[in-house]
Amino acid sequence: MTDTKPQDRVLIFDTTLRDGEQSPGATMTHDEKIEIAGMLDEMGVDIIEAGFPIASEGDFAAVSEIAKNAVNSRICGLARANFADIDRCWEAVKHAEKNRIHTFIGTSPLHRAIPNLTMDEMADKIHETVTRARNLCEDVQWSPMDATRTEWDYLCRVIEIAIKAGATTINIPDTVGYTAPEESADLIRRLIETVPGADEVIFATHCHNDLGMATANALAAVAGGARQIECTINGLGERAGNTALEEVVMAMKTRHDIMPWTTGVDTTKIMAISRRVATVSGFPVQFNKAIVGKNAFAHESGIHQDGMLKNRENFEIMRPEDIGLAGTSLPLGKHSGRAALRDKLEHLGFELGDNQLKDVFVRFKDLADRKKEVMDDDLIALMRVGGDDESDALKLVSMKVICGTGGQAESTVEMEINGKDISATAYGDGPVDATFKAVREIHPNEARLQLYQVHAVTEGMDAQATVSVRLEENGNVVTGQSADTDTVVASAKAYINALNRLLVRRAKMGEGADTREISYRDMS
């Protein structure tokens, strides 16, 4: 918009790859992080928080590569309040044309107790570390973690110190999702009015969703004067997650009359990145999630459909096209060719190279043989779960299940492990239990099943099921996914997919080593 005054522009700071990715079970691979960062950059996100460079070699490599590839976005890395973190962060982000160091320390009474610092000692530390960051990078963001539970006087004092030491953005985190909209607006407004130098920096809001108010709190903070919203795609993040990017962006666009702020985000790219983040993080989007949920634009009830036919504005406040949702289109079938598949996938936001298309086409044909009509949601599921990876150590070869009323279910599973076929038969309370036991007999493991989830992709007796399996082993959490018209087969594949991910993680960390990477919560 050409008539946007600078004070009406809200910067979008995406932390899917840092706060989102650090959510247990949401770990992404290096290539997935690079891909998501590319999509964020292309959709007009102002700042991408690409990771926590000192956390691991993998994080450092991902942030460095994202910094090298960035075209439009500013690339930011997270650092705790110590020189080693800050220097390492700079080494990773320095490759970007526009970069940022984000350093933080917990300032509330509870968080101050962790490093056991007095108020004065912490104030000195803030001065030293922000100065260090500013000497390396001209764009420095500082966050008083748990700001919403920090004493007012102390919060003002430390923010003033950070500004004097050179911070250019002051972020106010509601780390535990404790605040409420009025309080959120009021806090930012009072800080801007009170802290000397506040008008020289940008205030940011970073909300967590523990009480379901992250979006409302972030928008209220903007009403109070914040001009940067920190958020994640699909609201991904620890516990109940972070402010969802798609929600704040679409709220400002749809209710511009009462929230007269703009962003640089191309909203038509929302659906594609939402789907991709759901796939790579293993965190499916709830059906009734605002903006990107499967039902967000579905008008199922008779009354609604009648109203929609008369005038879509009766029940639709946004147009599906605005978030990149293609209008309803004809399903594909077993006679559909490669060109039709490519065309349909492009429509759904998936751009594939020739080799990828070849692989997806084989799986599409297999599905079309078993299912009369392949709907958009079937294709999305196909893309979400991916195919067999040649490099997987564990592969499902075949399985046979006998179950019925009364008695135990019996499952015989045959797997290929590093080129060798092994099979086992096990019994359990139902076909899934028996199958998981058979897999465990073939590949003994101590991983704990944290979550087992089944969703029907479409309606009908021949509907595909997508299954998510989350496993935990020595603090490592991974999620495996699969889809099949047979729920038990999908379950076996999802379980094996999760086990393969655990193997990769174990290898990455080194056998016998402490498998936990440093978390930004670990205050040393």
> For binding to ligand KIV (CB under 6 A), which residues are involved?
19, 104, 143, 145, 171, 173, 175, 206, 208, 520
Q: How far is the CB of 114 from Zn ion (least distance, A)?
A: 16
Size of the site for Zn ion (CB under 5 A): 1
Q: Which does 170 bind (CB under 5 to 8 A by kind): ligand KIV, Zn ion, none?
A: none
Contact between residue 408 and residue 434 where contact means Cβ atoms under 8 Å apart: yes
Q: Using CB under 5 A, which of 14, 19, 21, 146 touches Zn ion? A: 19
From the list Zn ion, ligand KIV, none, partner contacted by residue 104 (C-beta under 5 to 8 A by kind): ligand KIV
**DSSP letter assigned to residue 517:** P
Per-residue string for binding with Zn ion, 433-472, x by CB under 5 A?
Answer: ----------------------------------------
3-state SS, residue 460: coil
Task: Calculate the dihedral angle through the C-alpha atoms of 166, 172, 176, 182, rounding to the nearest 10 degrees.
Answer: 170
DSSP 234: G
State which residue, 208 or 501, has the beta carbon closest to ligand KIV.
Answer: 208
Q: Nearer Cβ to ligand KIV, position 174 or 484?
A: 174
CB of 178 to ligand KIV, least distance (A): 11
| Residue closer to ligand KIV, measured from CB, 183 or 388 | 183
Interacting span for Zn ion (CB under 5 A) from 18-26, 125-133, 323-331, 444-452: 18-26
CB nearer to ligand KIV: pick between 247 and 376? 247
- What is the identity of the amino acid at 145? M
**Residue 247 near Zn ion by CB under 5 A:** no
* Interface region with Zn ion, contact rule CB under 5 A, candidates 12-20, 107-115, 297-305, 471-479: 12-20
Return the one option of Zn ion, ligand KIV, none that residue 107 interacts with (CB less than 5 to 8 A, by type): none
Nearest distance from C-beta of residue 354 to ligand KIV, angstroms: 40
At its nearest, how many Å lie between Zn ion and the CB of residue 206?
6
Task: Say how far apart CA 108 and CA 33 lie, in whole Å.
Answer: 32
Place of tokens 């004809």: 330
| Comparison of 21 and 46: residue with beta carbon closer to Zn ion | 21
Q: Which is nearer to ligand KIV, 49 or 378 (CB)?
A: 49
431 binds, among ligand KIV, Zn ion, none (CB under 5 to 8 A by kind): none
Residue whose beta carbon is closest to Zn ion: 19
Residues in 152-191 that interact with Zn ion by CB under 5 A: none
Distance CA 465, CA 252 (A): 36
Alpha-carbon distance of 398 to 482, in angstroms, equals 15
Residues 349 and 275 sit within 8 Å (Cβ to Cβ): yes
Cβ atoms within 10 Å, residue 66: 28
Tell me how crowded residue 441 is: count the other CB atoms within 10 A of its CB. 14
21 binds Zn ion, rule: CB under 5 A? no
CA distances from 117 to 125, 165, 170 (A): 9, 20, 22
Contact 281, 21 (CB under 8 A): yes
The answer to whether 49 contacts Zn ion (rule: CB under 5 A) is no
Question: Which residues are paired to 335 by β-bridges?
Answer: none
Residue 112 interacting partner from ligand KIV, Zn ion, none (CB closer than 5 to 8 Å by kind): none
What's the min distance (Å) between Cβ of 208 and Zn ion? 6
Q: Smallest distance from the beta carbon of 219 to ligand KIV, in angstroms?
A: 18
Q: Residue 511 and residue 402: Cα distance in Å, rounded?
A: 38
228 sits in which H/E element: strand 228-231
Distances (CA, A) of 205 to 126, 181, 208, 238, 522: 19, 12, 10, 17, 22
CB 33 within 8 A of CB 66: yes
Of the pair 108, 482, the CB lying nearest ligand KIV is at: 108
φ/ψ of 184, rounded to 5, equals: -60, -45
Please state, in angstroms and rounded to a whole number, the distance separating the CA atoms of residues 462 and 367.
Answer: 10
Using the minimum distance from each CB to ligand KIV, give the nearer residue, 25 or 173. Answer: 173
CA distances to 40, 65, 76 from 272, rounded to whole Å, are: 11, 22, 23
Nearer to Zn ion, 14 or 19 (CB): 19
Contacts 24+ apart (CB under 8 A), 354-362: 359/387, 360/387, 362/387
Q: How far is the CB of 521 from Zn ion (least distance, A)?
A: 10
Lookup result for tokens 């991983």: 447
Closest CA to 86 of 100, 73, 98, 101: 101
Phi-psi region of 418 (alpha: psi -120 to 50; beta: other; left: phi over 0): left
Residue with tokens 């928008």: 219
Instruction: Output the smallest distance, CB 317 to ligand KIV, in A.
Output: 30
What minimum distance in Å lies between the beta carbon of 180 and ligand KIV? Answer: 17
Q: At closest approach, how far in Å is the CB of 18 from ligand KIV?
A: 8
- DSSP per residue, 255-298: TTTTS--B----GGGHHHHHHHHHHHH--PPPTT-TTTSTTTT-
Compute the least distance from the CB of residue 167 to ligand KIV, in Å. 13
If contact means CB under 5 to 8 A according to the sort of partner, which of Zn ion, ligand KIV, none does residue 520 touch?
ligand KIV
Nearer to ligand KIV (CB atom), residue 72 or residue 168: 168
Task: Tell me whether residue 19 or residue 41 sits nearer to Zn ion (CB atom).
Answer: 19
If the CB atoms of residues 146 and 376 are measured against Zn ion, the closer one turns out to be 146
Q: Closest approach of Cβ 238 to Zn ion, in Å?
A: 7
Binding site for Zn ion (CB under 5 A): 19
